[in-house]
Amino acid sequence: MREQDAPQTHFGFRQVPLSDKQRLVDDVFHKVARRYDLMNDLMSGGLHRAWKDTLVTALNPPTGDRPFRLLDMAGGTGDIAARVIAEAGQGTSVTVLDVNNAMLAVGRERAEQAGYPGQVSFVNGNVQSLPFEAGSYDACAIAFGIRNVPEIEAALAESLRVLRRPGLFACLEFSTVDLPMLDVVYDFYSFNVIPLLGRLVTGHAEPYRYLVESIRRFPKPEAFAALIREAGFRQVSYRVMSGGIVALHCAWRL
């Protein structure tokens, strides 16, 4: 098959062969892994912490000894896992799955430093083909990662497969700003300030240009909710926050 005839997708605003996207995304996160969470603080003014706390509240991990297994997809640095373990009881365990080993290395180091490696495991794997048996988890979460997946429908189908009934799927992702004037300010900040911050903090501007472009190409909340329903989830809902900068989608396998 000629390259121009191969299935296509987008990497930011660029159209690329579908088979190339994962490699390009891996390169982005390999470059910024060590400063990834610091850049999140700088880019969002610390707001990402409140957004992630909202995700953890939605997951509602038990505070006692009741077993609760969470799969944190594209969760490399272990940020969500750390928040869940801080809120949960001894019965909770988290599997952090990421396709990028550089991100996972950061997560493992932080788990060891924090003293909870027994409750968190780190697995190199692809969300489009999860290396787990059906019905293995009580909940699946993905924070700011689904838009980087080459085939979102495959990731949703795999999330449904590994959940036991009833099982919760929770996805936190950047969305579409819906407040007049804020959208203009947000666009200027995204396309001008964020790449500059990336260059200053990580030495790389291009990864952050891609991240901004990928946000603009991600489906609006209702369109993404429709994809989740089509995957077989039920009781699909979403909540937009901070003027539409982010949205939290929740759905159930029933």
Residue 1, pLDDT above cutoff 60 = no
54-93 pLDDT, tens digit per residue, is 999 999 999 989 999 999 999 988 999 999 999 999 999 9
Q: What percent of the chain has pLDDT over 90?
A: 54
Whether residue 138 lies inside any domain: the answer is yes
201-210 pLDDT, tens digit per residue, is 778 777 778 7
Residue 135, pLDDT above cutoff 70 = yes
pTM of the predicted protein model = 0.85
166-184 pLDDT, tens digit per residue, is 999 999 999 988 778 888 8
The stretches of 63-217 forming alpha helices (DSSP H) are: 79-87, 101-114, 152-162, 182-188, 194-202, 206-217
Residue 18, pLDDT above cutoff 60 = no
Residue 219: domain span: 19-253
Question: pLDDT band at residue 3, thresholds of 50, 70 and 90?
Answer: very low
The pLDDT, as a whole number, for residue 213 is 84
Number of domains in the chain: 1
Structure tokens at 124: 């190199």
Cα(24)–Cα(15) distance, integer angstroms? 12
The pLDDT, as a whole number, for residue 74 is 93
Q: What is the CATH number of the domain that holds 44?
A: 3.40.50.150
Whether residue 70 lies inside any domain: the answer is yes
Whether residue 6 lies inside any domain: the answer is no
Residue 222, pLDDT above cutoff 60 = yes
Task: Report the Cα 117 to chain-centroid distance in Å.
Answer: 21
Whether residue 242 lies inside any domain: the answer is yes
CA dihedral sign of residues 109, 103, 136, 131: negative
Whether residue 7 lies inside any domain: the answer is no
CB proximity list for 114: less than 8 A, separation 6 or greater: 82
Whether residue 156 lies inside any domain: the answer is yes
Whether residue 11 lies inside any domain: the answer is no
Whether residue 170 lies inside any domain: the answer is yes
Structure tokens at 244: 């539409």
